[in-house]
């Protein structure tokens, strides 16, 4: 299996998808929704996925293809080499022209994320990695950006933490998330962890790539799908970061509860900050 060839094909598809995304004219009142007004799909999501799946099936007919817009709950992720694709991650941003949407192209082997390409065509930012070969920004700058000068993680109170609200706005998952956000953000005298601040980029893949860059310390979300995380997972781990509780290796996203805590590469403190974070989660996701 030629991983470099797969990587290069994904990079060129990412640029092609980027042209479609940049030339699109989505409107906030002209989208389809999946389950509610926070869960959007546009004709562009479908067109980009079609272009990518057609090209990958033609070039690599022996590999499985999983895409967000053709998701089939009866086709779980298996050990077979599989392309895992989100044609537009950050669809809400895309529709509102908030400049954080990307195409997320992953390739997993034995359910291990192995090649990842994430491209934000608006800012022209490309993240990519092949397992065991490092992670790169725009194909040349090695991640994390601070390299060996990255600072240790000293605890949640110094951490910039990325969170997402998700599209489920009721039920136990939502309640756990909201209670956890309060606990993480609250002043220490009121029993909180008082993280330095929260960000929400609106795209799981771009949140994880920000952690890979080292511009964000942590990213936590419960409810991501495999196409949201596969590509950025390779990029993050190749940049020295970790995905906690996402069962790397025997990764089984639909069974694991789809919980992900991404932690940036650091000379020390990764394990401690994961434990501190888990201690603040307010219930089951």
Q: Does 82 bind ligand IPD (CB under 6 A)?
A: no
CB atoms within 10 A of CB 136: 18
Chain mean position to CA 147: 21
Is 190:169 a contact under the CB 8 Å cutoff? no
From candidates 164, 213, 226, 238, binder to ligand IPD by CB under 6 A: 164
Q: Binder to ligand IPD among 18, 26, 67, 90 (CB under 6 A)?
A: 90
Buried b (16+ CB within 10 A) or exposed e, 196-216: eeeeebbbbbbbbbbbbbbeb
Measured CA to CA in angstroms, residue 281 lies from 133, 181, 222, 259 at distances of: 34, 9, 11, 12
Decide if residue 253 touches ligand IPD (CB under 6 A).
no
Residues 31-50 within binding reach of ligand IPD (CB under 6 A) = none
One of 69, 86, 226, 238 touching ligand IPD (CB under 6 A) = 86
Residue 178: partners with Cβ closer than 8 Å, 6 or more residues away: none
- 89 has catalytic annotation: yes
The catalytic position among 49, 69, 86, 217 is 86
38 — phi, psi (to 5°)? -100, 0
Q: How many residues bind ligand IPD (CB under 6 A)?
A: 14
Active site (annotated) includes residue 68: yes
Nearer of residues 220 and 277 to ligand IPD, judged by Cβ: 220
CA 28 – CA 40 distance, rounded (Å) = 10
Answer yes or no: is 189 a known binding residue.
no
Q: Which residues bind ligand IPD (CB under 6 A)?
A: 68, 86, 89-91, 164, 166, 202-204, 221, 223-224, 228
Binding residues, by number, are 68, 86, 88-89, 228
Catalytic residues: 68, 86, 88-89, 91, 228
């Amino acid at each position: 299996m030629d991983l470099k060839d797969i990587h290069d094909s994904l990079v060129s598809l990412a640029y092609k998808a980027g042209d479609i995304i940049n030339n699109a004219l989505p409107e906030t009142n002209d989208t389809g929704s999946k389950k509610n007004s926070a869960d959007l799909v546009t004709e562009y999501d479908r067109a980009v996925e079609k272009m990518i799946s057609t090209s990958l099936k033609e070039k690599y007919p022996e590999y499985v293809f999983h895409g967000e817009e053709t998701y089939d709950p009866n086709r779980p992720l298996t050990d077979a080499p599989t392309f895992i694709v989100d044609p537009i991650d950050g669809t809400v941003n895309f529709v509102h022209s908030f400049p954080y949407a990307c195409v997320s192209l992953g390739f997993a082997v034995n359910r291990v994320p192995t090649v990842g390409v994430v491209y934000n065509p608006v800012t022209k930012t490309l993240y990519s990695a092949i397992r065991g070969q490092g992670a790169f920004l725009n194909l040349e700058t090695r991640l994390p950006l601070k390299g060996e000068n990255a600072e240790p993680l000293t605890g949640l109170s110094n951490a910039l933490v990325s969170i997402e609200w998700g599209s489920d706005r009721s039920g136990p998952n939502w309640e756990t998330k909201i209670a956890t956000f309060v606990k993480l953000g609250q002043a220490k005298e009121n029993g909180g962890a008082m993280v330095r601040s929260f960000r929400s980029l609106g795209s799981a893949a771009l949140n994880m790539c920000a952690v890979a860059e080292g511009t964000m310390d942590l990213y936590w979300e419960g409810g991501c799908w495999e196409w949201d995380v596969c590509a950025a997972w390779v990029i993050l781990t190749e940049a020295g970061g970790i995905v906690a509780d996402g069962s790397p290796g025997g990764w089984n996203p639909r069974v694991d509860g789809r919980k992900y805590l991404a932690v940036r590469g650091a000379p020390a403190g990764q394990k401690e900050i994961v434990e501190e974070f888990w201690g603040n989660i307010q219930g089951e996701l």
